[in-house]
Amino acid sequence: MKSGLKFSIYLLIIAIFFSCSDKAVNYYNQGVSAAADDDMEKAIFLWNKSLKYRTNDPDVYFNLGNAYLATHNFKEAEKNFRKTVDLNRNDHISHYKLGLSLQSQDKCIEAKASYKFSIRLKTNYMPPYLGIAECALSNNNINTAEKYASLALGLSPRNIKANILFADVLFRKEQYEQAYMQIIELRNSGNIDLLTILGKIMYERQMYKEAIETLSEARYIGETNSEIFLYLGKSALKLKRYHDAKNYFNLSIFKNRKESSAWAGLGEVYGAKLKWSEAIKAYSKAQDFAPDNNEILGNFGILLLKSGRNEKALKKMEVAVSRMDSPGRFLYYLGRAYMKTGNNKLAEETFNKFIENWDGDEKYIIMAEDIIKELK
């Protein structure tokens, strides 16, 4: 009697097991179909239902992680990929995806650890190399970014993202010619990120018309950001297309109200039109949003000098020149500020110092020498 009862219970357990298993597979497959139809919310619901009947299926957790990535729910994506790697420790793709979910939450230190684990498991799998390079660039760690972008290119020389990252490294190192050559052959790829970095490089290479064409193409391909409009504005400003520059800078500010360089650009536009009040307001905003940006501070001082606010200009130029990263041209304008405020001795000393250190356009040295002659 006891053995018969045990046998009945055993059959019941098997029946329940297969019933649960069938439901898990059912919901799993329905989730796959929903995902194929690009209905991620439905897929997430169905895969979570599947887990109720089979709680330790790494494939379901992996699919859920991908679905949450697709819907930008990065915290839930992280949670599911952590479960995936717990259940399948040696899956290099799951470690990469965990890193991606962490990176998307700006947890770059943790993301880097996951990416490195993925690389250890499969050294020729490229995505984690790109992830580390991206994280490094976000922290302005140029050397690390260069190393991993280069390794990614070694695995796939024509990979667009790897080329973009390497070009960005060269751009930040001010190696504009090399950056240009890195990606110009990929110009027709239709990739918005590639067109954006190429447009920025063209601007720095003084290819202003080409920069506007390239950035305008990026603008119409996909969603724009403040940076695209900023460099459109800067390029238009260089071409003295002030109306266009003003519109672009305003669009950049609309996208990101704290875009200090766009406020400074507006200041330059108003200054070119001799609208000093508007120019000063715009530069004041720029300085409010970026008080440590010496380029903005010095250029604000130059604008004040041009507008006749000599005392205010002098104060800003003195601070700008005193900073470690001060461009040499600021010395020239500091000399002019001293001269305008009647301190000819300091003006002469400053112009002499400028002449000793300047290695740019020769005309500024000639101008400084002529001023010194007038001061004596």
Going by C-beta distance under 8 Å and a sequence separation of 6 or more, which residues neighbour residue 148?
A: 129, 130, 132, 133, 136
**Residue 267 and residue 303 in contact, taking contact as beta carbons nearer than 8 Å:** yes
Measured CA angle at 94 (ends 91, 96), to 5 deg: 110
Structure confidence at residue 371 (pLDDT): 85
Q: If we measure between CA atoms, which residue out of 200, 206, 276 comes closest to residue 239? A: 206
* 341 falls within a domain: yes
pLDDT tens-digit readout, 82-106: 999 999 999 999 999 999 999 999 9
Calpha distance 336→187 (Å, rounded): 45
Structure confidence at residue 90 (pLDDT): 94
pLDDT tens-digit readout, 125-158: 999 999 999 999 999 999 999 999 999 999 999 9
| DSSP 3-state of 173 | coil
Residue 190 C-alpha from the chain's centroid:
19
Structure confidence at residue 21 (pLDDT): 61
* 172 falls within a domain: no
CATH of the domain at 334: 1.25.40.10
Going by C-beta distance under 8 Å and a sequence separation of 6 or more, which residues neighbour residue 196?
A: 215, 218, 227, 228, 231
Low-confidence ranges of the chain (pLDDT < 70): 1-21, 376
* 83 falls within a domain: no
pLDDT tens-digit readout, 247-261: 999 999 999 999 999
Structure confidence at residue 6 (pLDDT): 44
Structure confidence at residue 222 (pLDDT): 82
* 326 falls within a domain: yes
* 233 falls within a domain: no
Q: If we measure between CA atoms, which residue out of 259, 281, 284 comes closest to residue 270? A: 281
**Residue 94 and residue 63 in contact, taking contact as beta carbons nearer than 8 Å:** no
Structure confidence at residue 18 (pLDDT): 39
Structure confidence at residue 3 (pLDDT): 46
Going by C-beta distance under 8 Å and a sequence separation of 6 or more, which residues neighbour residue 115?
A: 95, 96, 99, 128, 129, 131, 132, 135
* 338 falls within a domain: yes
Residue 39 C-alpha from the chain's centroid:
30
* 193 falls within a domain: no
Main-chain phi, psi angles of 55, to 5 degrees: -80, -15
Residue 23 tokens read as 């439901």
Q: Total domain count for the chain?
A: 1
Domain of 303, in residue numbers: 292-376
Question: If you search the block for the tokens 């200054």, which residue do you land on?
Answer: 271
User: Mean pLDDT of all residues in the chain?
Assistant: 90
* 150 falls within a domain: no
